[in-house]
Amino acid sequence: MSATPSVTPSAAPDQTSSAVHAAREPVLRPESRAPHVLFATLMKDLRLEWRSKDAINSMLFFALLVVVVFSFSFDPTGDDARRIAGGLIWVAFLFAAVVALGQTWAREIRNQVLDAYRVSTAPANDLFLAKALGNFLFVSVLEVVMTPLFVVFYNLRVLGPAYLLPVIAVLGTWALVVNGTFFAAISLRTRSREVMLPLILFPISIPALLGMVEATKIILTGESSAKFWIVLLAVYDLVFTTVCLSLFETVLDAE
Amino acid sequence: MKTPVLIAIAVVVALLAFGLYQGLVVAPTEQTMGDVQRIFYYHVPSAWTCFILFFINFVASIWYLFTRTSKADAIAVTMAEVGVVFWSVVIITGPLWARPVWGIWWTWDARLTSTLVLGLIYVSYLILRRFATGGQTPILAAALAVFGFADVPFVYLSIWYFRTQHPQPVIGGGGSLHPAMWHALLYNWLAFSALAALLCWFRYQLERKQRDVEETLALESLLEGSPK
């Protein structure tokens, strides 16, 4: 056994030094650099979006068009408006979100940025979380701008506990965005990727969409308790965030 | 064709014929619904078979993600395709039965809606496979299969809660099933499972051969290019 250090002279000191290093300064391990990668990517995306305003403009206009088109299909002023408004709002947001989600990874294709990510030591999940958070912010801005418009156009008055609406909005938006960001990464590797994203995102999102629509409807009409739907959305978020994080690296490295 | 395959086909045909005999002749006529209820012996076994195939698709996808063996991926695609075929049988025979019994072709009842949504997930899986380019297809498809399977409890829970809050149309049957009806149902299920197994076997062989051909072609083009 005494011969072992001489056989691998270089490995042994490295191991000991790294072990000592890890014991003394656990803060400097690669995993702890993760928030920097996440933060840097997120800020880069926000800055790009701030300068170009591509996603937010197209989303806003798209959602506005959906509101107008729906107003022709349904009677927006009748007493039923409150019952259908939850569905209209969320379908408009879902369609508009797809516009932004489709652009998520497209800008990383140019100049082979995505390949650079792949060979870098940056954790893949940080990249994913940064993109998902960026999309979450974009869609949230959209919702904040569009909701007053819906209220005005459809003469809405909340009869239930209104303070729950932001909770539903956050949980629902995350449900759409976390899966949407992941599926955008999948559809990136397909022909006609713009078409592919909604085709794989919508079927999986049906339970979440049902949760958002029903919860919003219950609160708008004040009929019963939305607790079941809020819990369902929270569990849905938890499960699918876990699935996304455990599979993203595999999909990113897929060759 | 090889003899074992011919024997397998003969067995499946015999089972299907026996199942048909059981369903049409041996099983008693239902009191309120009449003879149209016999569609049950095709509808329910197809549904059970399709759920089993989707489950095997999930297992094969997980297997693929861990081992990256081409065999696992071939099994996954086979199960999804044959599963969607049986799902189509369920979705087509359902309205055929519902129309005379309920008076409507379709109702957004919990079981119908969740079966429809489940099928949509696997159709989107097949579309993804069709559209994905290059060698990444198996990984992307396996990832989507995991998502699809994780979605199943949510689909059932949400739609069940959504629909049971509202008045529901009467679901046929319910209650107890006559023993002869049970026999017919189980014989048919056996026959349908055997048919599914046979179809899966053919589809799997086809998939393997297709992959072999693609590999050989790729290798040949490499070899042709190398001496120059």
Q: B128-165 pLDDT, tens per residue?
A: 998 887 778 889 999 999 999 999 888 888 888 877 65
Q: Is B25 on the interface with A (CB under 8 A)?
A: no
Instruction: Tell me if A200 and B146 make a contact (CB, 8 A cut-off).
Output: no
A154 domain-assigned: yes
Q: Is A179 on the interface with B (CB under 8 A)?
A: yes
Q: Which of A80-84, A133-137, A178-182 has the lowest mean pLDDT?
A: A80-84
Q: In sequence order, what are the residues at sequence separation of 6 or more whose Cβ sits closer than 8 angstroms to the Cβ of residue A52?
A: none
Counted across chains A and B, CB pairs separated by less than 8 A come out at: 90
* Distance (Å) from the alpha carbon of A254 to chain B's nearest alpha carbon: 5
Q: Measure the CA–CA gap between B112 and B94, rounded to whole angstroms.
A: 8
Full domain range(s) for residue A85: 33-252
SS3 track for B15-75? HHHHHHHHHHHHCCCECCCEHHHHHHHHHHHHHHHHHHHHHHHHHHHHHHHHHCCHHHHHH
Instruction: Please name the member of B65, B139, B154 whose beta carbon is closest to the beta carbon of A236.
Output: B154
A219 domain-assigned: yes
Q: Measure the CA–CA gap between B60 and B75, rounded to whole angstroms.
A: 6
Instruction: Tell me if A251 and B155 make a contact (CB, 8 A cut-off).
Output: no
Q: Is A247 on the interface with B (CB under 8 A)?
A: yes
Q: In sequence order, what are the residues at sequence separation of 6 or more whose Cβ sits closer than 8 angstroms to the Cβ of residue B116?
A: B91
* pLDDT single digits (tens) B173-219: 455 677 778 888 888 889 999 999 999 999 999 999 988 998 899 89
Please tell me whether the interface predicted TM-score (ipTM) of this complex is above 0.85: no
**How many other CB atoms are found less than 10 A from the CB of residue A1?**
4
The domains of chain B are located at 3-170+177-203
Instruction: Tell me if A206 and B147 make a contact (CB, 8 A cut-off).
Output: no
pLDDT of residue B19: 86
Q: Measure the CA–CA gap between A207 and A210, rounded to whole angstroms.
A: 5
Q: Which residue is closest to A213 within chain B, CA to CA?
A: B162
Q: Measure the CA–CA gap between A156 and A112, rounded to whole angstroms.
A: 47
The structural domain count of chain A equals 1
A62 domain-assigned: yes
* Distance (Å) from the alpha carbon of A48 to chain B's nearest alpha carbon: 28
**How many other CB atoms are found less than 10 A from the CB of residue A210?**
23
Q: Which residue is closest to A184 within chain B, CA to CA?
A: B140
A203 vs B contacts (CB less than 8 Å):
117, 120-121, 123-124, 148, 151
Q: Is A251 on the interface with B (CB under 8 A)?
A: yes
For chain A, state the CA radius of gyration. 23
pLDDT of residue A242: 94
Q: The pTM is what?
A: 0.82
A6 domain-assigned: no
A28 domain-assigned: no
- Amino acid at the residue A132: A
B140 vs A contacts (CB less than 8 Å):
186, 189-190, 251, 254
Q: Is residue A161 within 8 Å of residue A193, measured between CB atoms? A: no
